Amino acid sequence: MTKQATLAAATAVFAAAAAAAVLARQRLREANRWARAGAVLRDLEARCATPAERLRQVADAMAAEMRAGLACDDDSESGDGSALLKMLVTYVDSLPSGVEEGLFYALDLGGTNFRVLRVQLGGKEQRIIKQESKGVSIPKHLMSGGSDDLFDFIAAALANFVASEGEDYHLSEGMQRQLGFTFSFPVKQTSIASGTLIKWTKGFAIDEMVGMDVVEELNKAIRRQGLDMKVTSLVNDTVGTLAAAKYVDNDAIAAVILGTGTNAAYIDHAHKIPKWHGPLPKSGEMVINMEWGNFRSSHLPLTEFDQALDVESLNPGEQIYEKLISGMYMGEIVRRVLLKMAQEASLFADNVPPKLETPDILSTLHMLMMHQDTTPDLKTVGIKLKEILGIESTCYKTRKAVVDVCEVVARRGARLAAAGIYGILKKLGRDTVCPEQRTVIAVDGGVYRYYKFFAQCMESTLSDLLGEEVASSVVIKQANDGSGIGAALLAASYCQCLG
């Protein structure tokens, strides 16, 4: 071999060795990246774990807080003696039975949208003859502006809706139009048709309204529109949902909302409510709005992500349970985990995608669309990551890691929601076998309706907690849009009671 040939061969060997070394280094880096991503995921799984034993502790704590809230007279937000669960007395001591008749309106305000609806009730025989509704989205600036601005906007939409009332709706002779007002925030009620706002949740922050009577404000705005209408019932969305469920199924005893926010209402014996000082209702019962979103306990599995989310939220230290299980927050928790995986394990290649650093950019709707992707190569996850976070291309392994994070967060939320329901059943003594007893719990809200994994996981967890025999007598029933119709039904039944 000539000298040149030897040199060329040596150079080729050297280049091949160098290329192999680069490749080996890349592989090692890759392996390290995945090891670090796997470590973050495993740590998350461990910290979000909800074994049955822990869920039983959560349920016991929920039942104990329910009792404490029912005994505590101080419903204010800041009072030293105030309880974690407000357990608000709703003044609803009888639920619609089906005899209600006439034309009634409802206004359902509880999130970024509100809905107006009307219903023509035909009594025992005809029940709901006709109904229609209209959704309106609330401009973001009105959620933190002035009280009059918000109520004028709502009352104007209501006036438009009333103006479109067709001839097939009939107002009874000499009757003024009656409105059921579903207002899905914590309110201390002073009667069936009055109550003051205790605090805002779900991103609303109109400070001047705290402590104000929300019905009075709405009635004033209705008058400003020149509308001849009166609010005759004020209800939380859980209470409306319970009323609508009871209208079709007499065994309904509780309603749960799993949507932007979360909450539950249930029927209790009035004599078991120490803070109720009014006369015992004829029915002997009272619907309680738990405001369970504010529940917290040392048994809740909280992570660094939950803590950071809470600190940076509009209401730090409050609504801790809500921040674990509801639609306003689960997507944001996922974003925070993915950000850590991007920073510490280069999950999305070397650079952290700038959009991933934007709070609330990933909604729970995005989360469920990615989680429920059934394509073999997780194509939807890839599309969503590109659309929402501007991440151009992702490999299968990255997409799968994203799905895994969604699953951990959703499973924890669903199992904790089941523990909450189990807590209510415990408080009511419906967690044991009782022949002939059927227990119906109505559930509504976007998370329950559209996040199938969440709904199924919640239901199977509740069955496991109850045991086969008891579980066979407990029915979780999806309630569709009951919150508005329930308010109209209550407006009807209370208007008849008064008349």
Instruction: Give catalytic residues, as residue numbers.
Output: 115, 184, 237
Q: How many residues does the chain have?
A: 499
Whether 279 contacts 272, CB under 8 Å = no
CB of 232 to ligand BGC, least distance (A): 20
Residue in 185, 247, 276, 422 binding ligand BGC, rule: CB under 6 A? 185
Assess 90 for contact with ligand BGC (CB under 6 A).
no
Whether 120 contacts 112, CB under 8 Å = no
Site residue total, ligand BGC (CB under 6 A): 17
When the beta carbons of 102 and 293 are compared against ligand BGC, the nearer one is 293
Task: Identify which range of 23-31, 167-175, 253-261, 385-393 contacts ligand BGC by CB under 6 A.
Answer: 253-261
Task: Identify which range of 15-23, 167-175, 254-262, 300-308 contacts ligand BGC by CB under 6 A.
Answer: 254-262
Assess 382 for contact with ligand BGC (CB under 6 A).
no
* Separation of alpha carbons 193 and 204, rounded Å: 22
Whether 428 contacts 266, CB under 8 Å = yes
Assess 413 for contact with ligand BGC (CB under 6 A).
no
Residue in 90, 196, 262, 461 binding ligand BGC, rule: CB under 6 A? 262
CB of 353 to ligand BGC, least distance (A): 31
When the beta carbons of 323 and 399 are compared against ligand BGC, the nearer one is 323
Residue in 90, 182, 232, 263 binding ligand BGC, rule: CB under 6 A? 263
Assess 241 for contact with ligand BGC (CB under 6 A).
no
Assess 293 for contact with ligand BGC (CB under 6 A).
yes
Helices 330-345 and 304-311: crossing angle, nearest 10°? 120
Whether 483 contacts 444, CB under 8 Å = yes
Assess 244 for contact with ligand BGC (CB under 6 A).
no
Assess 102 for contact with ligand BGC (CB under 6 A).
no
Assess 182 for contact with ligand BGC (CB under 6 A).
no
Whether 448 contacts 478, CB under 8 Å = yes
Residue in 322, 332, 431, 459 binding ligand BGC, rule: CB under 6 A? 322
> Can you give the binding site for ligand BGC, defined by CB under 6 A?
110, 184-186, 201-202, 236-238, 257, 259, 261-263, 291, 293, 322
